[in-house]
């Protein structure tokens, strides 16, 4: 159980197979490579979120929500209507 700021959460693992884990690891590698092309890097907090997804700790929706929340904390609310999320 994880306690943070008065909230309790139970860590859950999503059962993923080796094929799915490999796909997620490739996606992480591709993301890092694309950032390097632009002379950017994946910061530690973002990397931890990505790794939790690779490890099966969080699913795709939780991953997206965590990245969106991180970006909102850092940059303020963003409106990106092209992808169906705001």
* For the chain, domain boundaries: 15-83
Q: Give the tokens for residue 44.
A: 């530690």
Contact 76, 68 (CB under 8 A): no
pLDDT by 10s per residue, the chain, length 86: 444 455 454 455 667 899 999 999 999 999 999 999 999 999 999 999 999 999 999 999 999 999 999 999 999 976 666 665 55
Per-residue pLDDT at 2: 45
Q: Give the tokens for residue 31.
A: 């993301």
Per-residue pLDDT at 83: 60
Burial of residue 10 (CB within 10 Å: 0-12, 13-18, 19+) is exposed
Beta strands per DSSP E along 1-86 = 2-4, 7-9
Separation of alpha carbons 71 and 25, rounded Å: 22
Per-residue pLDDT at 12: 56
Contact 58, 66 (CB under 8 A): yes
């Amino acid at each position: 159980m994880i306690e943070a700021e008065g909230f309790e959460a139970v860590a859950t693992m999503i059962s993923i197979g080796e094929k799915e884990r490999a796909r997620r690891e490739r996606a992480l590698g591709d993301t890092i490579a694309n950032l390097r092309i632009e002379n950017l890097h994946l910061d530690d907090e973002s990397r931890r979120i990505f790794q939790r997804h690779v490890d099966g700790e969080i699913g795709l929706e939780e991953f997206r929500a965590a990245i969106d929340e991180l970006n909102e904390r850092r940059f303020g609310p963003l409106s990106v209507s092209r992808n169906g999320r705001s």
